[in-house]
A and B are shown apart, each in its own frame.
Chain A
Amino acid sequence: MKSHFISDSDFSKFVESLIRSVRVVAPVAKKTKFSFETLESVSDLRLDYDVTILPPKKAIMPVKQELVRFNGNSIESAISAQDQVLLGVHFYDVKAIDMLDELFSQGHKDYNWLAYRQHTTIIASNVQKVSNRAFFASVGQGVQAKGHDGFLTKVSGGYVFDAISPKAEALVKQGTFKDASPAQVTEAKVANEKVLKECPETLKHSTEAVQKKVREAFKKEELWKQFSDQCFSCGSCNIVCPTCYCFDVQDEWNLDGTSGKRCRTWDGCMLGEFAQVSLGGGHTENFREERHTRFRHRMMRKATYLNDKLNGPACVGCGRCSSSCVPDIADPVKIINKIMEA
């Protein structure tokens, strides 16, 4: 890995030229918040964002994605992955994308995810402003961010750019980069360490202790009922989560009745219909019909069930669920700390 430096003005020129050659998806302002969008001009780029409404996984697996098109008995894949650069991803979201890379390549591979992922170059950037519900410093401390191609850190006068993969080295050739000085490398290191001390919320126990105790709390029905008393089953905590990866598949028929498409749409385990399954003959059953069982399921998924597959929790501490929950009951820090102290 090599550390480069690019000045602020050269960085702008670099991004402008990048936009002209490839689709660049990056954080932009959205009213009082931020979202990842296809960048049209470098002046829209907001690397000083705190957190985006939806996670950047949407550039790889959009909210709604066409899987196949069919006509009579002929079926064709709808995959049409084009090269793209996902710019300005915070390290916690890099971790989350890495988790999905892992989950989508285990067992039955998800070729749609893998195809779009392969065409994506990820340029991470340092957290310049910590969001008001973040706890990324204390969750899954043993898990390193990996899978990204490069890492930008804002320093005085410009950015230090760590080129991790050959794709990133190729990008360096497109801009006016210099070798970063030792002082610049140190400044970047300090900046990245500093934000870890600025999280407003903190998980107080280790991943292993949390995994054990939360798992043991499964049978405490009353506790889960208390936690979920105000829950709307609105699924916002799922939809905004960078590590959630469930989807619903539906066929959409054209009016001719022979052709159409099969699409998948992000789904969430907090929704009442999520666990409703067909028993045949028009009958259905819902195996998580009660609100508190769904609420419990989400926490189990984030803090225990996937830990062995991922070598850590399926939560990166972005705090999106906490801030998007209208009754403010979805915060994993509050839930987990309460279970640990019980």
Chain B
Amino acid sequence: MSKKVTVASFDFTSCEGCQIELTNMGEHVFMGLLNHIEFVEFREAMSEKADAYDIALVEGSYSREIDRERLLEIRRKAKIVIAMGACATCGGINALKNHQNDWAENVYGDKASMPHLASAKALPISAVIKVDYELPGCPMNKEELVKVVNDLVHGKAPLIPDHPVCVECKARETVCRFELGDHCMGMVSRAGCGAPCPAHGIPCEGCRGFVSHPNYAALEKVLVEKAGFSRERAANKAQMFTSNYLEKLR
């Protein structure tokens, strides 16, 4: 292998949990990857700024107009842009505020008018720039990141699953939440996480976003008919991580 692949990492509106996942990778894997890549910009760990990089890892949603220029600059400098985590790929938890107007008062009380809270809708970064690969999940799946970067470094097209979580849930023989009288969104949510939530006794909330063709009407119907939700609750259910998808569907 000749030159190392250069990688830069950036954060926008987020909890930085995805970058923490990066550092949680385990020394063995991380060091293995470092034989092939070199970080040229990483706010968490270094102060240098680079003029160009092969891969930009972008965490966080786009929620302020002033971030537009920074994103465009990243796009100009990067050969490949990877959106990392739910915030960057679909707006994430941040998008919860998109359909509410009293969030600042509720969350920050008398500090609600702090200037940095002024923001617009939380959107995926693909709302501003072209994104080459999206690594969904809250937080993103670190094994998936390694796999995608490794595939890119070695010239293989990365594969992000586009089928529902149910596939992985059934594969590990978890008793379905619906069989236990609960609800779940695994039927419309993108697999790749290994379906840990139903396996640990909680519904899938769709943190990896929807598959490309979710049957949303059917989701509302089963939430009402099988899980006993009210129509209103069923209609609102998919707003935790997927409200930006819903807007497109409706």
Chain A contact residues, CB within 8 Å of chain B: 30-33, 35, 52-54, 63-64, 229-236, 239-240, 250-253, 255-257, 266, 268, 271-273, 291, 323-324, 326-327
Check B175 against A30 for contact (C-beta < 8 Å). yes
The residue in chain A whose Cβ has the minimal distance to the Cβ of B219 is A232
Check A33 against B175 for contact (C-beta < 8 Å). yes
**Given the contacts A230-B218, A257-B154, A236 and B170 also touching, CB distance less than 8 Å:** yes
Q: Within 8 Å CB of B186, what residues of A?
A: 234
Check B175 against A253 for contact (C-beta < 8 Å). no
Check A255 against B187 for contact (C-beta < 8 Å). no
Contact partner of A253 (CB less than 8 A), chosen from B33, B151, B214, is: B151
B124-165 vs A, CB cutoff 8 Å, 1 = contact: the mask equals 000000000000000000000011001101101001011110
Q: Within 8 Å CB of B167, what residues of A?
A: 234-236, 239, 268, 271
Check B163 against A272 for contact (C-beta < 8 Å). yes
Q: Within 8 Å CB of A32, what residues of B?
A: 175, 179-180
Within the assembled complex, what's the spacing in Å between the Cα atoms of A338 and B212?
Answer: 31
Check B218 against A233 for contact (C-beta < 8 Å). no
Contact partner of B173 (CB less than 8 A), chosen from A30, A230, A251, is: A30
Quote the shortest CB–CB distance from A277 to chain B (angstroms). Answer: 14
Check B171 against A255 for contact (C-beta < 8 Å). no
What are 18 sample pairs from A and B whose C-beta atoms fall under 8 A apart? A30-B173, A31-B175, A32-B175, A32-B180, A63-B171, A230-B221, A233-B211, A234-B163, A234-B164, A235-B166, A239-B170, A253-B150, A255-B29, A255-B150, A271-B167, A273-B161, A291-B213, A327-B221
Contact partner of B35 (CB less than 8 A), chosen from A54, A255, A324, A326, is: A255
B residues 167-226 near A (Cβ < 8 Å) are 167, 170-173, 175-176, 178-180, 184, 186-188, 211-215, 218-219, 221-222, 226
Q: Within 8 Å CB of B64, what residues of A?
A: none
Chain B contact residues, CB within 8 Å of chain A: 1, 29, 32-33, 35-36, 146-147, 150-151, 153-154, 156, 159, 161-164, 166-167, 170-173, 175-176, 178-180, 184, 186-188, 211-215, 218-219, 221-222, 226
Q: A31-B175, A230-B221 are in contact. List 7 more A-B contacts (CB 8 A).
A: A32-B179, A232-B218, A232-B219, A236-B167, A239-B171, A251-B156, A326-B187
Quote the shortest CB–CB distance from A88 to chain B (angstroms). Answer: 16
Check A272 against B33 for contact (C-beta < 8 Å). no
Quote the shortest CB–CB distance from A147 to chain B (angstroms). Answer: 24
Within the assembled complex, what's the spacing in Å between the Cα atoms of A64 and B221?
Answer: 33
Check B171 against A266 for contact (C-beta < 8 Å). yes
Contact partner of A326 (CB less than 8 A), chosen from B153, B154, B176, is: B176
Check B163 against A235 for contact (C-beta < 8 Å). yes
**Given the contacts A233-B215, A253-B151, A273 and B163 also touching, CB distance less than 8 Å:** yes
Within the assembled complex, what's the spacing in Å between the Cα atoms of A253 and B150?
Answer: 8
Quote the shortest CB–CB distance from B183 to chain A (angstroms). Answer: 10
Contact partner of B218 (CB less than 8 A), chosen from A229, A256, A324, is: A229
Within the assembled complex, what's the spacing in Å between the Cα atoms of A271 and B187?
Answer: 11
Quote the shortest CB–CB distance from A341 to chain B (angstroms). Answer: 25
Within the assembled complex, what's the spacing in Å between the Cα atoms of A300 and B43?
Answer: 56
Contact partner of A53 (CB less than 8 A), chosen from B154, B170, B212, is: B170
Check B187 against A234 for contact (C-beta < 8 Å). yes
Question: Would you list the 5 A-B pairs with minimal beta carbon distance, nearest first?
Answer: A232-B187, A255-B32, A234-B166, A239-B170, A230-B218
Check B175 against A230 for contact (C-beta < 8 Å). no
Check A233 against B180 for contact (C-beta < 8 Å). no
Check A257 against B1 for contact (C-beta < 8 Å). yes
Quote the shortest CB–CB distance from B73 to chain A (angstroms). Answer: 27
Q: Within 8 Å CB of A273, what residues of B?
A: 161-163
Within the assembled complex, what's the spacing in Å between the Cα atoms of A59 and B30?
Answer: 34
Quote the shortest CB–CB distance from A206 to chain B (angstroms). Answer: 32
Check B175 against A53 for contact (C-beta < 8 Å). yes
Residue from B146, B213, B215, B219 with most neighbouring chain A CB atoms (10 Å): B215
Check B154 against A272 for contact (C-beta < 8 Å). no
Check B226 against A326 for contact (C-beta < 8 Å). yes
Contact partner of A231 (CB less than 8 A), chosen from B33, B173, B218, B226, is: B218
Residue from B29, B153, B154, B161 with most neighbouring chain A CB atoms (10 Å): B154
Check B32 against A326 for contact (C-beta < 8 Å). no
Q: Within 8 Å CB of A235, what residues of B?
A: 163-164, 166-167, 170
Within the assembled complex, what's the spacing in Å between the Cα atoms of A229 and B216?
Answer: 11
Within the assembled complex, what's the spacing in Å between the Cα atoms of A255 and B32?
Answer: 6
The residue in chain A whose Cβ has the minimal distance to the Cβ of B162 is A273
Residue from A30, A53, A54, A291 with most neighbouring chain B CB atoms (10 Å): A53
Check A255 against B164 for contact (C-beta < 8 Å). no
Check B215 against A291 for contact (C-beta < 8 Å). yes
Q: Within 8 Å CB of A35, what residues of B?
A: 173
Q: Within 8 Å CB of B173, what residues of A?
A: 30, 33, 35, 52-54
